[in-house]
Structure 1
Amino acid sequence: MRPSATDASTDRKRRLAKLAFAMTAWAVPGSVLLYLVEASLLAVLMVPAVGLFYVGMGTVWLYGGPRR
């Protein structure tokens, strides 16, 4: 006996629902992980930038800036 068109349609919908659930289940932890990687990378890049800024400002404060 051949499966009817409605069986195929239901099966297709079921497979799409499974796929959507799997994509959602992977997307949430994936995006959290991506956020953590991005935040840590930004922190690693910002520490030397802020450090250099303060070294520069300290140098300007210490030596009084450009001479006239």
Structure 2
Amino acid sequence: MSQVSTEFIPTRIAILTVSNRRGEEDDTSGHYLRDSAQEAGHHVVDKAIVKETATLFALRYLRGSPATMYKWY
């Protein structure tokens, strides 16, 4: 049986929290994800909080062109 070699490859990550009640100071899930990703060796390139209504608008816009979601790099 052959062994599979798994090499760690750090990833660039953007964290988007959707919340109508949270702000930057009390965004516990966003902070947790950022810290966990960085501790694992990944690069957090952006972190933001948006209101749910803004997110729904953006998703409707992106739905017409799915490829635009992949132009962050």
Q: TM-score range by the shorter chain?
A: under 0.3
Q: TM-score, normalised by structure 2?
A: 0.24
Q: Which has the larger radius of gyration?
A: 1
- Structure richer in helix, relative to its length: 1
- Structure richer in strand, relative to its length: 2
Greater RCO, 1 or 2 (C-alpha within 8 Å, sep 6+) = 2
Q: TM-score, normalised by structure 1?
A: 0.25
